[in-house]
A and B are shown apart, each in its own frame.
Chain A
Amino acid sequence: MLFRRIYQFLLVYIITIVFLFMIKILLSLSDYVIPGVPLMIETTGQVFKEYFFDVMNTMSITILGQCLSIIMAFTVGIAGRKSSWIGSFIKVTAYNIQAYPIVALAPIIFILLGDGFIPRLLIASMICYFPLLLSVLGIMATPVKDIEHFYIVTGRMRWQLEVKIRAFENLSKLTTVISGSATLAMAGTIVGEFIAANAGIGYSIRIALYQSDLAKIIVALFMIGIIISIYQGILETMGEQIKTRWSISKKGEVL
């Protein structure tokens, strides 16, 4: 799973580089516009270490932001699952806010909170929060009658058990939405940094843009791609392991 993601990314990346070289040759562009191989190798050597730390910086914000948003989504999703007025209010708000591109709020966040760690974390968590919340709300609000019936009629149902039953029944959906939100969070963090931060790989890309240094940008894109592929691969593998451990039985799929 993990290796497949990395292969796929490398394939797409190499195709893109080849495409760039083709344009370079076709339009006879100098290294100033599209760097040649020697220049790319040289630039890689110059900025690889720096960009690696930048990506790790961005990645740490992304992961932290995602964890925060998972916790928030579950808390609010569980609290809002009843069809009380709070539940309905939360549902409607989440639907409406998630339609808005959160990353467009990045400039306002940076103006109000500066361009340090907290605003970047806020953007990362806000971006993946709303889709997560909607999924969790949907899952938590849907009874699993066939399992819950026994506990309800025998008076053994508790809210913790109800949440556990519904979460477990929809484990595939949850792991999918969490892996998906990883890309969302990373993209959003990078864009936020690009717009207004002073740290992270998005910031480094912005500087490279100002310096018209496509070689640096290509290196940065490689780092981003590799790291996010690894991260998603890990998330997917974890998801599979959780499913195996809790034994979503594959018995029926064998024959």
Chain B
Amino acid sequence: MRLECNNLNFTYPDSKVAVINNLSFLMEKPGFKALFGPSGAGKTSLAKMIANPGFRADGRIITENIDTILYSYNLERLPGWSSAGKHLNKVTSPEKQPLKERLIEIFELNDVLNSRYSQLSMGQQNRMNLIRYLLQDFNLLILDESLANVDEKLRETIILAIKELFSNKMFLYISHNLMEVSKFCSQILVFGKPSGNKGCFMTQGQDCKKGYDLDKEKLDITMLEIMNAF
């Protein structure tokens, strides 16, 4: 499994400044990777480019053993005409039903299955959206702030569960939470300040798995390294 780009550039049509400027990186092996950086740095733009088949078609983004890439973001909504549970059922294939039950349990959504999407809290909405993506066929799933509004403890539970249940998939996690990405991600693509001289660089995270022992010292080093980018 491989996700790579070499000297990638991109400028929006009505902008003079390039949002992606000569970006090169390589991500290998399945696992939880991160895109980390300040607002406006180009994380979402890069994510959308990766998810867009056109960029792979013309070779600007190179993949290996990655056929299906899905991009999810935190503003998505489920249709409102039936309960969230019903909508979830409609998009889950029969063989994934057990997985669905499991995820609902982990994501603590059992009590809200009969409610309509608009009646859920923001955290519940984000979790519901994420579940339906996890139940689709994909090789790489991009999570653009998909766990926003979820409390820290539950977020940790969810991330660890995803890593365990989907160990053969790649995830790109876009987040503003420094400790979280440092703890749980294997690779972190750090976006420097857009206007600063520091470009993007890749660093290693702690990649903690379920039942982990946290190495505080190593975590601090990772976090410091990232902080120095700004």
User: Is B167 interfacial (CB 8 A cutoff)?
Assistant: no
Within the complex, the shortest CB–CB distance from B63 to chain A, in Å, comes to: 16
Interface centre among B77, B78, B132 (most CB of A within 10 A): B77
User: Is B136 interfacial (CB 8 A cutoff)?
Assistant: yes
Residues on the B chain within 8 Å of A153, using CB: 51, 70-71
* B81 A147 Cβ-Cβ under 8 A: no
* A147 B75 Cβ-Cβ under 8 A: no
User: Is B116 interfacial (CB 8 A cutoff)?
Assistant: yes
Given contacts A153-B51, A168-B81, 15 further A-B contacts (CB under 8 A): A146-B76, A146-B77, A150-B72, A150-B91, A150-B129, A153-B71, A154-B70, A154-B136, A246-B81, A247-B119, A249-B116, A249-B118, A249-B119, A251-B118, A251-B119
Q: Give A9 to B218 CA distance when docked, in angstroms.
A: 77
Q: Which of A154, A164, A251 contacts B79 (CB 8 A)?
A: A164
List residues of A (146-184) whose CB comes within 8 Å of B's CBs. 146-147, 149-150, 153-154, 156, 164-165, 168
Report which A residues bind B (CB closer than 8 A).
146-147, 149-150, 153-154, 156, 164-165, 168, 246-249, 251
Interface of A is mostly: helix
Name 22 interchain pairs, CB-CB below 8 A, sorted by A: A146-B76, A146-B77, A147-B79, A149-B76, A150-B72, A150-B91, A150-B129, A153-B51, A153-B70, A153-B71, A154-B70, A156-B91, A168-B80, A246-B80, A247-B116, A247-B118, A248-B118, A249-B80, A249-B116, A249-B119, A251-B118, A251-B119
Q: Which of B72, B79, B119, B133 contacts A168 (CB 8 A)?
A: B79
Within the complex, the shortest CB–CB distance from A159 to chain B, in Å, comes to: 15
Interface of B is mostly: mixed
- Knowing A153-B70, A154-B91, A154-B136, say if A147 contacts B118 (CB, 8 Å): no
- Knowing A154-B70, A154-B136, say if A147 contacts B77 (CB, 8 Å): yes
Within the complex, the shortest CB–CB distance from A173 to chain B, in Å, comes to: 15
